[in-house]
Amino acid sequence: MPLPIVAGLLTTFAPTFWLYNIGRLIASIGVGGIQNATFTIAMEVLSTRHRAIGMLVASGGWTTGLVTLTGIAWLIRDWQHMQIVISLAYLVNFFIWLFIPESPLWLLATKHYKKAESILKRATTKNNVTNVDVNQIIKSYEDKMERERTLKKPTFAALFRYRCLRRTSIILSFKSIFSTLLYYNLTYTSILLGTNPYLSFFLMACMEYPQKFIAIFFINSMKRRTAFAFLYSSAALCSLASIFIPSDIRNVPNSSEDAGLGVVSDDQSSGRHSCAIHERVETFKMTLPDTVDDVKRRSIKDATKIEPDGLDKLNEEFPCVTSTEEDDAVEKVSLDGERRP
């Protein structure tokens, strides 16, 4: 958390361009860490069927930041003063940190069982979850960690060990690159759509709010490949269509044609990002399954109970399966007992 604050102030008073870039590099490390930690803890404490809503809340902060940035830039015209204000705004994260408990999954994975037990008991009390033996849950994870101790810890190279994982990793990387290029191009060039750059940027940022709810529909109701095909194709068509807008219309301030195509393309780009995050979580092996709703499910003893390491065993025994086999396998080991789209 201190990295963005220190680096932001460093870039403000940097005497040279090289020192300014060093500050930007340090800031990007800090901001990237905060973003990854935010999405990670959201995925760890939410069950599968609630992750779309969690993604809406977590990613909504980015959109709110863009909207707020417009007002700050309009009030503070000096970039150095604005940089100081934005950097100091990160102090708010310190107060948020005081109220957010540690991830139970991380505590269990690092063998801090006492702290995990305390947090899980507090969670069951606040969420009115009854008939749960937290001590038994902790014991099951202890046994699982003991079994996994003999397994080799996965590394970055494991993403490219098997042909199917290598192909998936490369495809997801390129999808992220293309989505980022399109998103930032549309966001930053939005100031050229009208006579008032502040208003244009503000409207473009606000258009991301309805996209968040559209992304929930795609995540919960459509298969991943179908969602990607629709979102990518529609974004590509809108981006290409804006090229063929006549120059006399394009140069008109607040051109509705250009603005509309830009908004639709930007929304589809943001939707792809939300779907991509869910796909990465579903595709790559997780060390431990969910806890919040999973706490209640694991306490129920019946003949249909899913073993806690069922998905891990599936990944170990079948490192690469066909699309048809994968649908059936994921349905069988789904922690919710529901078929994922």
227 burial level (CB within 10 Å; 0-12, 13-18, 19+) = buried
150 burial level (CB within 10 Å; 0-12, 13-18, 19+) = exposed
Q: What is the mean pLDDT of the chain?
A: 69
Sign for the CA dihedral angle at 144, 150, 318, 161 comes to: positive
Structure pTM? 0.63
**Contact criterion met (CB below 8 Å) for 51 and 43:** yes
Mean pLDDT over residues 85-97, rounded?
82
CA distances from 145 to 99, 105, 130, 206 (A): 29, 12, 26, 45
pLDDT of 61 over the 50 cut: yes
Predicted confidence band of residue 325 (pLDDT cuts 50, 70, 90): very low
3-state secondary structure of 190: helix
Digit-coded pLDDT (tens) for 146-182? 776 666 666 777 777 778 778 878 887 887 787 777 7
Give pLDDT, residue 101. 82
Q: How many residues does the chain have?
A: 341
Interatomic CA distance for residues 50 and 219, integer angstroms: 11
Digit-coded pLDDT (tens) for 108-135? 878 788 888 888 888 888 878 777 778 8
142: region left, alpha or beta (phi > 0 left; psi from -120 to 50 alpha): alpha
